[in-house]
């Protein structure tokens, strides 16, 4: 997806792409109209392994990528993202019902001083449980 975004961006003026596991790569003085993310979809290794039918011992490296321990990265993301969003900006995150629901994030979004604009099931990947959550300023 990132490669397609980069290819498309050559036709769009003033687009910058930051790629990383955290927001540390983004300068504090930046303001964005749209932030897109695909964070880990499970809050613990056990639920990820169970959902995916993986053995924890043999798939630890894969599970490490898929797990956001007790949603700590999500919580930090929402706190930091408020500073990077323009007044009318929004965040669009891809999540998975196998690991979460929009309600899992509602309180942390609210605690960060933001609001959930909408949630929507993926048309293309609904059979895989993919959904989107849009977040913006209150």
**Predicted local distance difference test score (pLDDT) of residue 6:** 61
Q: What is the pLDDT of residues 53-68, one digit of tens each?
A: 999 989 988 888 899 9
Q: What token pair was written down for 105?
A: 């994030």
Count the helix, strand and coil residues of the chain and give each as a percent rounded to the nearest 5.
Answer: 40, 25, 35
What is the chain's length?
A: 138
Strand order in the sheet with 32-37: 32-37, 85-96, 130-137, 114-121
> Rounded to the nearest 5°, which phi and psi values hold at 53?
65, 35
Asked if residue 68 belongs to a domain, the reply is: no
Domain assignment of residue 133, given as a range = 2-40+74-137
Q: What token pair was written down for 79?
A: 């706190």
Strands 130-137 and 114-121 come out as: antiparallel
**Predicted local distance difference test score (pLDDT) of residue 110:** 97
**Predicted local distance difference test score (pLDDT) of residue 8:** 60
What average pLDDT does the chain have? 88
DSSP 127: G
Asked if residue 82 belongs to a domain, the reply is: yes
pTM of the model: 0.83
Asked if residue 55 belongs to a domain, the reply is: no
- Are the beta carbons of 23 and 81 closer than 8 angstroms? yes
For residue 110, list its beta bridge partners. none
**Predicted local distance difference test score (pLDDT) of residue 5:** 62
Asked if residue 35 belongs to a domain, the reply is: yes
Asked if residue 16 belongs to a domain, the reply is: yes
Q: Which residue has the higher pLDDT, 20 or 95?
A: 95
Q: How many domains does the chain have?
A: 1
The residue with tokens 């300068």 is 27
CATH number of the domain bearing residue 35: 3.40.50.150
Q: What is the pLDDT of residues 26-53, one digit of tens each?
A: 877 888 898 888 999 999 999 999 999 9
């Amino acid at each position: 997806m990132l490669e397609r975004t980069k290819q498309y961006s050559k036709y769009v003026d003033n687009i910058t792409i930051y790629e990383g596991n955290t927001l540390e790569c983004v300068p504090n003085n930046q303001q964005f109209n749209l932030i897109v993310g695909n964070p880990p979809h499970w809050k613990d290794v056990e639920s990820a392994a169970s959902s995916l039918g993986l053995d924890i011992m043999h798939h630890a490296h894969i599970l490490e990528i898929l797990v956001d321990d007790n949603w700590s990265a999500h919580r930090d993301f929402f706190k930091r993202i408020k500073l990077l969003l323009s007044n009318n900006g929004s965040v669009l995150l891809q999540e998975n019902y196998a690991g979460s629901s929009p309600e899992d994030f509602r309180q942390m979004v609210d605690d960060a001083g933001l609001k959930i604009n909408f949630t929507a099931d993926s048309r293309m990947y609904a059979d895989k449980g993919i959904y989107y959550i849009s977040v913006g300023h209150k």
